[in-house]
Amino acid sequence: MSSAPDLPVVAVIGGGFTGTAFALHLTASSAGKVRIVVFEPRDRLGAGLAYSTTDAAHRINVPAGRMSVYPDDPESFLRYLATTDEHVTDAQLIGRDGQPYPRRLVFGDYVAAEIAPLLSSGTVEHRQADVVSIRRSGQDWLVTDSTGGQLRAQFVVLAASHPSPALLRPLLPFKNHPKLVSDVTIPAALEAIAPDDRVLILGNGLTAADVVASLEKRGHRGIIQSVSRRGLRSRGHAPVVQEPFGDFTSQPAKTASALLRHIRRSIDDARAYGLTWHAVLDAVRGQAFAIWRALPVVERRRIVRLARPFWDAHRFRIAPQVEDALDRAIATERLTLRAASLKQVVQQGDGFAVTLAGRGVSGTETLDFDAIVVTTGPAHNHILQSQPFLRQLAEDGHISACETGLGIACDLDAQALDGRGAPVDTLFIAGPLARGTFGELMGLPQVTEHAVFVAGKVAQATDAAHAPSPDTARHQNANPHSRRLAV
Ligand SMILES: Cc1cc2nc3c(=O)[nH]c(=O)nc-3n(C[C@H](O)[C@H](O)[C@H](O)COP(=O)(O)OP(=O)(O)OC[C@H]3O[C@@H](n4cnc5c(N)ncnc54)[C@H](O)[C@@H]3O)c2cc1C
């Protein structure tokens, strides 16, 4: 039985895609020799923030053929999709490029279906609760959840990736205003927006594109202004599938500017072969780990500060169906994209008077809006302050912020780095929160590979813990922490 008291206990904090993929792969690599407990407040594992949405306008932004939970079986989700009636009920399933981009919820269903047998057999346990504190207890960790339950674990894996977006300062006085949508991932978040409302969207990325598509589906007719510092719009996929193009690892760039020059040159070279920038950016993404490792921290920071908006706009591509919605809104002049920053917001009747400073122009402009939607993305740079258990782990010196501001610091084995920069060998970081160390780690293909990698590392560690050395065995009765106890 998996919950036998002498099995090492692995507590996974967060049962979104990362935590669930990790649990699946740890089960495979540890051959049932661990007890895996996933803490997740949602009623099912696998969907998390991205794939819980019930909004039909929200589609996966990577074709279904590249969204598998098994890197060595890329068609797994496609096969699952064929067992559903989506091909009949979802008239827009197939994008312009001929590939399926199902609703995001369907992907959540798929991951939940993959973990279901392990939940039924008790191999993986789901504790439906928020973790509120994780404290050291001898060599173990004591994990306390929001129901008051406690678990003594020998290993902890942090997979609580996406914190809520942070509110920009001018919006703070309005945080309870019914027409300020500060977190679009909350179900029915856009319900307060009336069909003729003039809407300001803060941010221009994938989530902003989702909002435009959702508003269109809900029959919204009012004007929309989408504002970001650079005014870059999300890009779609290449018209036809292309192989990645470019070598960024044989002589990896040592500075941010050398890397950018290399990318620009490769895009020119790609054109000569009839390829688009998509193929080059795909190569960069595929080689991101090696590229990132070659860059000193100061250059990584420079990339995060200066190049990230361009990277995000080109690397994160929207589904063709969402791109079409964006194009329609721009063509009918319902949607304007602007490069500007938010200066001031004051109440104007039931709505807002918003002062914006345009990029590269002097002076400001004040415009009236009925509703504001924040899509500036999860506040990863404040991750350690985002939840009590993370704040407390940091205060106790067990975790630290990544130097790039992208998440939680860890080493190349995904072990958390403590306040002094030393690895904590029983505390692991899985998924997007580890991207300061591993480079690009947000799109599903990379997140899946990382989950497999961390599962392998934890399996090694639990193996070592499970096979006590003769010395350890001799002292087992004397030392209460040498016995792996499950509470
Ligand atoms: C809106 C959105 C859409 C996306 N769409 C795509 C896409 O189509 N294709 C693609 O390749 N990538 C997409 N991504 C990228 C995405 O980061 C990854 O694909 C992946 O979903 C990340 O999953 P995760 O489990 O790491 O994070 P999350 O989905 O954030 O899951 C973390 C989980 O932790 C739980 N949690 C948080 N705090 C606690 C706590 N204290 N105790 C217990 N549990 C806790 C949360 O409830 C949540 O379920 C999208 C990202 C977002 C934000």
**pLDDT confidence of residue 303:** 87
**Any ligand 1 atom below 6 A from CB of 289:** no
Q: Are 281 and 243 in contact (CB under 8 A)?
A: no
Q: Are 14 and 159 in contact (CB under 8 A)?
A: yes
Q: Are 423 and 398 in contact (CB under 8 A)?
A: no
CA 247/CA 263 separation, integer angstroms: 10
**Any ligand 1 atom below 6 A from CB of 69:** no
- Mark residue 450 as left, alpha or beta (left: phi above 0; alpha: psi -120 to 50; beta: remaining): alpha
CA 268/CA 280 separation, integer angstroms: 10
Helical ranges in 316-443 per DSSP H: 320-331, 388-395, 435-438
**pLDDT confidence of residue 468:** 56
**pLDDT confidence of residue 241:** 81
CA of 303 to the centre of ligand 1 (A): 23
Take atom 35 of ligand 1 and give the residue whose Cα is closest. Answer: 14
CA 311/CA 292 separation, integer angstroms: 14
Q: Are 346 and 174 in contact (CB under 8 A)?
A: no
Chain-centroid distance of CA 31 in Å reads 28
For the chain, state the CA radius of gyration.
23
E strands in 63-215: 124-127, 131-137, 140-145, 150-153, 155-158, 180-181, 199-202
CA of 204 to the centre of ligand 1 (A): 19
CA of 62 to the centre of ligand 1 (A): 15
Pocket test for ligand 1, best of 54, 162, 285, 312 (most atoms within 8 A of CB): 162
CA 308/CA 17 separation, integer angstroms: 24
- Crossing angle of helices 277-286 and 308-315, in 10° steps, is 110
For residue 443, which atom of ligand 1 is closest to its CA? 11
Q: What is the pLDDT of residues 210-225, one digit of tens each?
A: 999 999 999 999 999 9
**Any ligand 1 atom below 6 A from CB of 49:** yes
DSSP assignment of 34-51 equals: SEEEEE-SSSSSS-TTTT
**Any ligand 1 atom below 6 A from CB of 41:** yes
Residues (pLDDT < 50) of the chain are 1-3, 472-487
CA 434/CA 55 separation, integer angstroms: 29
CB environment 192-226: b (16+ within 10 A), e (fewer): ebeeebbbbbbbbbbbbbbbbbbbbeeebebbbbb
CA of 201 to the centre of ligand 1 (A): 22
**Any ligand 1 atom below 6 A from CB of 149:** no
**pLDDT confidence of residue 319:** 92
CA 136/CA 464 separation, integer angstroms: 20
**pLDDT confidence of residue 426:** 97
**pLDDT confidence of residue 309:** 74
Pocket test for ligand 1, best of 104, 161, 449 (most atoms within 8 A of CB): 161
Compute φ and ψ for 342, nearest 5 degrees: -80, 125
